[in-house]
Amino acid sequence: MVKGKLITIEGGEGAGKSTALAFIKRYFLQRQINCLFTREPGGTEIAEQIRQLILHALSDESVLPETELLLMFAARAQHIKTCILPALESGQFVVSDRYVDASYAYQGGGRGMDNQYITMLDKWIVGDVCPDLTLLFDIDPVLGFERTKNRGASHDRIEREKIAFFKRVRERYLERAQNDRGRIKIIDASQTVASVEKQLEAVLDAFMMTV
């Protein structure tokens, strides 16, 4: 069976993932590679509804870390089974704006949830639908937040966390990159857009040589 490739994009708030996505779309279009672009939490109708609940729940009740983690994986289960897997099995490339590494970084690093729960859900829900390549947009959270201020949109529930939370998120991402250098490629997102695109092109070119 032809199998596509799964590329994921990760990083802290305001790291420039959305900006880089436009470049990645052009990159694959120019090479006439059929690519599905999706995101987490979200990517399917139900998963987008769960995203809304996670990021914009209209309630004074605080969302428990356990609830947040389980909702992330509930959305991910829908996303994998109904969107990612069928695309990969038809030989398509899939590019997801965030995936399972985000749960380790945000719920594990940020919220301090025990890794064993995340690993258990990862094994159950993600299984072998692992990314072939992960682009980690690394930036100091202070600079990331400066950038989102310029964007003007209001902050969602997670974006309203304190800077210490995002420092822990960054540390956990970097720790994962350190332990999985073959898959996770760090992009220095503090650089100019042109420099970020240059880094991306080099990583994508190297990856395409392997497929």
Binding site for ligand T5A (CB under 6 A): 11, 13-19, 40-41, 72, 97-98, 102-103, 106-107, 147-148, 150-151, 158-159, 192-193, 196
| For ligand T5A, the closer CB: 150 or 179 | 150
Q: Cis check for the bond before 41: say yes or no (omega within 30 of 0).
A: yes
Q: Considering the complex, what minimum distance in angstroms separates the CB of residue 150 from ligand T5A?
A: 5
State phi, psi for 13 to the nearest 5 degrees: -65, 140
Using left for φ > 0, alpha for ψ between -120 and 50, and beta otherwise, residue 5 falls in beta
Q: How far apart are CA 168 and CA 70, in angstroms?
A: 20
Q: Considering the complex, what minimum distance in angstroms separates the CB of residue 2 from ligand T5A?
A: 27
| For ligand T5A, the closer CB: 10 or 132 | 10
Q: Considering the complex, what minimum distance in angstroms separates the CB of residue 99 from ligand T5A?
A: 7
| For ligand T5A, the closer CB: 196 or 210 | 196
Rg of the Cα atoms in the chain? 17
